[in-house]
Chains A and B, each alone.
Chain A
Amino acid sequence: EIVLTQSPTTMAASPGEKVTLTCRASSSVSYMHWYQQRSGASPKLWIYETSKLASGVPNRFSGSGSGTSYSLTINSMETEDAATYYCQQGSSYPVTFGSGTKLEIK
């Protein structure tokens, strides 16, 4: 099983601040996918195939990485970006998710 480790677990950022969330895989994966989940809501696909933004995702978001190390970056934090972000790999079964990064607004 491929274990995904996200860091940090929790963080707070000020409006306008640049934010980077990381996801490390225990073995190499082909792609990483990211989801945003706001409190009380269902998860939403946010970034797929490492760097492609899902429909409606603002372009202040970006994704990068390869092999075992991936990241999600917000160029300039906005209030609406406060949420929990999960990474996910589908390269091999079982499909696994990271434990999430809770991003709060400062």
Chain B
Amino acid sequence: EVQLVESGGGLVQPGRSLKLSCAASGFTFSNYYMAWVRQAPKKGLEWVATISTSGSRTYYPDSVKGRFTISRDNAKSSLYLQMNSLKSEDTATYYCARRLDWFAYWGQGTLVTVSS
């Protein structure tokens, strides 16, 4: 059974940093692109980042480019999202997802609240 378990969310002040983690199991992690998708409270879904199987290619929307960094450790079947210079508009539940052209599996999400 595919499982994705996010962790690392919490309350953080504007301008500070936070690193999210996602532990994957139930599939061969190194064979799949992975991604982060977020959802602000009572809002829709927004794609945040994608990483290739080896980690050599990464993709971001303009809203987070230069502030967020996606990475992975295939030996640990783990995905990460380093978030710097956080803004109030980054407040959201962050989901880890297994990516093809679509997002086949999602974790339960971890809530990040950016507030002073």
Contact = CB atoms under 8 A, between A and B. Distances in A.
Interface of A: 30-31, 33, 35, 42-45, 48-49, 54, 86, 88, 90-91, 93-100
B108 interface: yes
Contacts of B59: 93-94
Nearest to A29: B101
Contact of B104 (A45, A93, A97, A99): A45
Contacts of A95: 35, 47, 50, 61
- Give chain B's interface residue range (CB within 8 Å of chain A): 20 to 34
B108 A97 contact: no
Interface of B: 35, 37, 44-47, 50, 59, 61-62, 95, 99-109
Contacts of B103: 33, 35, 43, 45, 88
Given A33-B101, A97-B47, 9 more contacts: A33-B102, A42-B109, A48-B102, A88-B103, A90-B99, A90-B100, A93-B61, A98-B44, A100-B44
Contacts of B44: 86, 97-100
A62 B73 CA distance: 38
Contacts of A96: 47
A83 to B, nearest CB: 13
Nearest to B4: A42
B101 A49 contact: yes
Given A42-B95, A42-B107, A94 B101 contact: no
A45 B102 CA distance: 8
B105 A45 contact: yes
A36 to B, nearest CB: 11
Given A45-B102, A45-B104, A94 B47 contact: yes
A42 B50 contact: no
A54 B37 CA distance: 19
B68 to A, nearest CB: 13
